[in-house]
Amino acid sequence: MIELFLRAQPLLEKAVLVTIGLGLASYFLGCLLGLLIALARISTFRLLRCLAFCYVSIFRGTPLLIQLLLIYYGLPAYGIVMGPIASALLALTLFAAAYLSENVRSGISGVDKGQWEAAWSMGMSYWRTMLRIVLPQALRIALPPMGSRMIGLMKDTSLASIVTVVEMTRVAEQIGAATFRYLEMFMLVGAIYWFINQVLTVVQTLLEDRLSRHFK
């Protein structure tokens, strides 16, 4: 057992970094895109609302694996060729943005209408009100579901193994195949996923406490 782990260690070390990097990067990009989509979804412009609605409908309504395969194996047919990591990053970002936009949108609509009215009655503009008054409070409301998304996304990175990204799941598979010790290897990476997500859970709890300090 020990000798198996020692053999896996150098590969796993890199793979853990790839998994965490892929998860965090697609999450933050997904948050940015999700915020823009949420703003489009509540915009007064019909076209923007419609586009945002379609986006969420498509990327939330189809499997992540299909999106990933389309980008990696499908797009080259149109001359768009991306490496494995870039493909995985793009797919995870687009997928996460669909869910995160809904979290942000529900956060925004959860802010009391009186907050808008108070800002408007002072002569503040829509965007100024959104930025300084509504979004900070919407974020507090949206934080728990957004945290769950982060954890979900960290696990979804395992699908990147399908398009040859050398992340944790792929390393487990490779070493498992070479040694016929699939059980130990998948148990091991399963435990690492679990550990990463426990750390994220703690961070989320701390953030929630911090943001809701003045509201309990």
| Shortest Cβ 108–other proteins spacing (Å) | 14
Residue 165's closest CA among 75, 63, 91?
91
Q: Rounded to an integer, what distance in angstroms lies between the CA atom of residue 99 and that of residue 84?
A: 23
Is residue 46 near other proteins by the rule CB under 8 A?
no
- Two tokens at 46? 């019909």
Residue span 58-97 as binding mask against other proteins, x where in contact by CB under 8 A, dash where not? ----------------------------------------
The torsion region of residue 175 among left (phi > 0), alpha (psi -120 to 50) and beta comes to alpha
- Two tokens at 49? 């609302």
Stretch binding other proteins (CB under 8 A), from 1-9, 119-127, 174-182, 199-207: 119-127
Is residue 114 near other proteins by the rule CB under 8 A?
yes
Is residue 125 near other proteins by the rule CB under 8 A?
yes
- Two tokens at 159? 């699908």
Residue span 127-166 as binding mask against other proteins, x where in contact by CB under 8 A, dash where not? -x---xx--xx--x--------------------------
Tell me the CA distances in angstroms from 188 to 65, 161, 164, one per residue in order. Answer: 23, 16, 20
How close are the terminal C-alpha atoms of the chain, in Å? 49
| Shortest Cβ 110–other proteins spacing (Å) | 12
- Per CB under 8 A, residues contacting other proteins are 112, 114-115, 117-125, 128, 132-133, 136-137, 140, 214-216
